[in-house]
Each structure stands twice: as C-alpha cells, then as structure tokens.
A = this chain, B = another copy of it.
Amino acid sequence: MRLELDRRASVPMYRQLAAQLRERIVSGELAEGYRLPPERELAARLGVNRTTVLQAYQRLKDEGLVASKVGKGTFVTPAGGAGARPSPGTIRTIRDAGVPAHDGTPEPSVIRPPWSVLFSDYSNRFTYHDIAEIDRARRGGADGRVIDFATGSPNPADIPDDLLRAVSLEAFASHEFDGQPESPIEGFDELRALLAEHMRTRGVACEARNVMVLSGSEQGIDLIVRAFVNPGDRVLVEQSTFFPALQTFRSADASIVGVPVDADGMRTDLLEGYCARFRPKIIYTIPTFHNPTGTTMPMERRRRLVDVARRHQCLIVEDDAYGELWYGGNGDGDRPVPLAGMENAGYVMYLSTFSKTVTSGLRTGWVAADPHVIARLAALRRMVDQHTSTSSQRICLELLKEGRIAGHVRDLTAAYRRRRDTAVAALERHAPQGMRWTVPQGGYYIWVSLPDGVRALDLLARCRTLGVTFMPGGVFDVDETDETHIRLNMVRPDARDLEDGIRLVCDAVHAMTR
C-alpha cells in the first residue's frame, strides 16, 4: 500500500493519512477484512510519530470504516455495515411498493421515492390543524358563503389598501431605495430605531440595538428555540396557547408543561411551584389579549411572573402579537404594559408583528431583547433567511414614519371594539344556558365554554353544515384533549355577518343540549 504524506502541507498529517486510507476503503481497494498495518510499523515506515497513525485510525473507527479486535489489529469493516448510524425509529429497509431494491437489477423508469420512510421522525409526527384554511376552501351554507370565525388573520376589508398603496409607491419611487439593497441581518437601522421608539410608547425601555426585524413574529419563536433550548429542556406555557409555538418547542425535543389559567390568564400564584418543580428554561406566554382565550393578565400577575422567572433564571418569551389592538379605556381598565416594560425584565424576550394590525402578507415582525440575545439570534439567522425582505421592511418603515400607522390602528380598534360589543350582545341574547364566554379588552378572540355534553368537534361538524366555522379548543390545548371550548375570531367575519354567525353557533349549541 503506497501512502504519501506531505510534511509541509498545512493539513495535519493524521488527516492526510486518514483521507488516503478512507478513499482506498470506500473505493473497495482495501476490501472487507483487510488488516491495516500495525500502528508502530506504519509510523516507522512513514517516518511519523505513532500518535499520527493512532489519530488517523481513530478517525476511521469513528466513521465506522475500520474496527479493532483486541490483540489482532485493525480491520476494514463490511461495506453497508457498521458504517451507518441508523436513525432511531427509521427502518431504511422498508420500501414502498414499486421501489427497486439496492441490488442493481433493472428498475422501472418511473421512480417514486419511499417518502414515508425518508421523512424525519419529527416531521412524521408533525401535525398542523388548519381548520380555517380547509373551511375557507369549502363552500358553506345555502348561499355558498362561510361565516369565518376560524382564521387568525384580519378580514381583508380591514386591511388599509390606500395607505399601503401610498407608502409602497412612495418607497419604491425613491432613489434612496434603488436596487432594493441588502439589509443588515437585524434589519435596516432606521426601521429598528422606529420600532424602538414605538416600544417606548408602550412603556418599554428600548433602543435600536435591542431590536431585530423578523419575517413575522413566529420566526422569533423559532430562532429563540434554536438559541436556547437543548433537547429535554422544559418549557412552561399557558394550558391553551398558540399552536405553532407548541410545534416549535416540540421540534427541539423540549418538554412542554401547561400552567393552569383562569379569567386573568396564567395562574402566577402557582408559578413559583412550577418553576421549583420543573426548572423550566423558558416560560412562553401571551399576557395581553391572549390567543385563544382572550384574557389579559393584570399588572400584579405581570410583576409576579417577571419576578419569579428572574429568581429561577428562567427566560420569558412574551408573545404580544395582539398587544396593539387595545379597545381603549372606557370600562376596559388601563392599557396593559408589556412584561418587557416591568422592572427587572432582563429575562424577557418580546415579540410582536405587523400581521394583526396591517396585513400578514408583509411577513414582518420584531423581537426586542438584550443586545446579547439579538447578537445570538442574528448569528443563527444567517442560516435561515438572512434578513427580512427589503421591500417589506421599507413598507413598514414608511408606515411607522410620521405616525402614519397610528391613525389606522385607532380606527381599527374603534371598529373592533364595536364588533366585540355586538358579539357579546349577540351571545347574551342567543346563548343557551351553560354557555359562558370571555369579554376581551382587545385583540381578536372570544373564548367560549360549552355547556355540559356539547363537544367542540361535534359542534363544529354541525356548524359547518350551517355555513359557519370556528376553531375547536383542542387545537390549542397542550394535552390536545380540551373538548369543551371553542375560539371565535370575532373580527374576521364581515361585520354584517357577526350577529348572524353568533346566533347560528348558539342555536346549534342549543339544539345539541336538548
């Protein structure tokens, strides 16, 4: 066996040796069972240190190409044998019908890879409850319309077309924006500064360096999980919560624990015990206008949450997707201050988005956190999407400049407040006994508790035939067993259908309790 090492090359000698042996083994030149020269002998022959040969052999062993037998030497392993670390749970030998075997016999010309075997274990377990999308695609009641309480995004009629057109045309006509320049990973400086300024109006101490622009706030959850979660880490969440967040935690093999909730959100009185017991890495929470329950955590709970988490060195992910949509102070209390605005909020990573106030088509959100966190998330993001679309960033920048977005949000929340009042009045008028609901102070959602014996999925099936749809509570439940709640997005249907929709749901419930 001829081996040539280049002493002057910068590649370490043991790597050169391993590479040459590897090539001969995989090519079959050194066949199964071939005994490599004893380490001392080869070292002497090549004029290298014995450690060099030891290291090279060890590397090949790690790769499964050779194996040592005590007292007998080092041998080339069988091809297709020890070389592969089989994936737990994946049986690579199972094949779909019609897929050829490995033996090189002639194959049919159309090849269908055995996808079910090839997909990762995680993605095979992955589920997504897209009831809303399915229902939008179906034709609904007698006239083919569907009254949609299911979808979690704004009614297209509430998207500010004229404003978006005006700012887009302004942005793209400007020579400042020639060539749609690449953005820094963290986003354009001017946009980060405007977002920080906006955060300060919400009571959060924030500078541009605390902000990273995201391609939607969900991306923030994904990046935070990569940055912080080791397999097996515990994550505390509200017992019912935003479903994609649960998926993201599961994808990192985190262990999710639901904390009980009541009409004021997460039961922070229990939190000390949960932290001591479970030593969570992260608490993921939606304290304001909660999805799906519509609750808002009072100030006292916010302070306690931040305090308990800090004492346990537990991170908080504050998802504030709906926080801008406060219906105003008349009987609805004060405007909630984000967790990020509490004292000692250094453990809080705040997420928000333009998806709920403007349009989710922009795919633009942001995270506000300690600059150490921003730096880490930015480094990881290089392998995801590098930065948020330049054109989307530019549109958001124009929307924030001179407070243009503020007027739209003011009008929108006034309209939403009226719809909330309409929806609640309709519930009061039509709901049968045993049906209860939250009255949200902002955001999109009314959470309805069904009377005994009425199951959410049965009700959904019935309502679909009537041309009305909603999300069943089980979708949001950590244990996926909740069958007694439904979520109504009261701002999604056309305003004129709101009362009818609520009445149809109530009548269906009534019919099922008889």
A residues in contact (CB < 8 Å) with B: 8-12, 15, 19, 23, 25-28, 63-65, 79-80, 83-90, 92, 95, 99-100, 102, 104, 107, 109-115, 117-123, 126, 128, 130, 153, 156, 159-161, 164-165, 168-169, 172-173, 178-183, 215-216, 218-219, 221-222, 226-234, 244, 247-248, 251, 255, 257, 260, 269-270, 273-274, 276-279, 281, 310-313, 315, 343-344, 346-347, 359-364, 370, 372-373, 376, 379-380, 382-392, 395, 452-453, 455, 479, 481-484
Nearest CB of B to A511, in Å: 18
Picked from B227, B380, B482, the residue with its CB within 8 Å of the CB of A11 is B482
For A8, the closest partner residue in chain B by CB is: B452
Q: State in angstroms the CA–CA spacing of A11 and B315 once bound together.
A: 31
**13 A-B residue pairings within 8 Å (CB atoms):** A25-B277, A90-B230, A109-B343, A111-B347, A123-B376, A123-B379, A123-B380, A156-B179, A159-B180, A164-B179, A182-B360, A218-B386, A222-B383
Contact A390 B362 (CB under 8 A): yes
Nearest CB of B to A183, in Å: 7
Contact B228 A385 (CB under 8 A): no
Contact A79 B276 (CB under 8 A): yes
- Residues of B within 8 Å of A382, CB to CB, are 128, 130, 244, 247
Nearest CB of B to A385, in Å: 4
- Residues of B within 8 Å of A387, CB to CB, are 363
- Residues of B within 8 Å of A65, CB to CB, are 277
- Residues of B within 8 Å of A257, CB to CB, are 63
Nearest CB of B to A43, in Å: 21
- Residues of B within 8 Å of A379, CB to CB, are 123, 126, 128
- Residues of B within 8 Å of A63, CB to CB, are 257, 278
Contact A226 B120 (CB under 8 A): yes
For A344, the closest partner residue in chain B by CB is: B111
Q: State in angstroms the CA–CA spacing of A86 and B180 once bound together.
A: 46
Q: State in angstroms the CA–CA spacing of A312 and B93 once bound together.
A: 11
Q: Given known contacts A181-B359, A382-B128, A391-B389, is B83 in contact with A113 (CB within 8 Å)?
A: no
Q: State in angstroms the CA–CA spacing of A268 and B82 once bound together.
A: 22
Picked from B86, B165, B274, B386, the residue with its CB within 8 Å of the CB of A26 is B274
Q: Given known contacts A113-B347, A165-B172, is B384 in contact with A218 (CB within 8 Å)?
A: yes
Picked from B159, B173, B383, the residue with its CB within 8 Å of the CB of A244 is B383
- Residues of B within 8 Å of A455, CB to CB, are 10
Further pairs besides A109-B343, A164-B179: 19, Cβ < 8 Å: A10-B455, A11-B481, A19-B260, A80-B277, A83-B276, A84-B234, A88-B232, A92-B313, A107-B310, A115-B370, A121-B230, A128-B379, A165-B173, A168-B168, A172-B172, A180-B395, A182-B361, A215-B363, A362-B389
For A117, the closest partner residue in chain B by CB is: B313
- Residues of B within 8 Å of A12, CB to CB, are 481
Picked from B114, B279, B388, B392, the residue with its CB within 8 Å of the CB of A313 is B114
Contact B119 A228 (CB under 8 A): yes
For A130, the closest partner residue in chain B by CB is: B382
- Residues of B within 8 Å of A279, CB to CB, are 80, 83-84, 92
- Residues of B within 8 Å of A274, CB to CB, are 26
- Residues of B within 8 Å of A482, CB to CB, are 11
Nearest CB of B to A339, in Å: 14
Contact A173 B169 (CB under 8 A): yes
Contact B310 A15 (CB under 8 A): no
Q: State in angstroms the CA–CA spacing of A195 and B511 once bound together.
A: 51
Nearest CB of B to A136, in Å: 11
Contact B215 A385 (CB under 8 A): yes
Q: Given known contacts A11-B483, A119-B228, A391-B392, is B83 in contact with A270 (CB within 8 Å)?
A: no
For A214, the closest partner residue in chain B by CB is: B385
Q: Given known contacts A15-B481, A277-B83, A479-B15, is B165 in contact with A372 (CB within 8 Å)?
A: no
For the complex of A and B, 3 pairs with smallest distance between CB atoms: A26-B273, A361-B390, A389-B389
Q: State in angstroms the CA–CA spacing of A23 and B160 once bound together.
A: 46
Q: State in angstroms the CA–CA spacing of A316 and B388 once bound together.
A: 28
Q: Given known contacts A85-B234, A231-B87, A392-B391, is B310 in contact with A111 (CB within 8 Å)?
A: yes
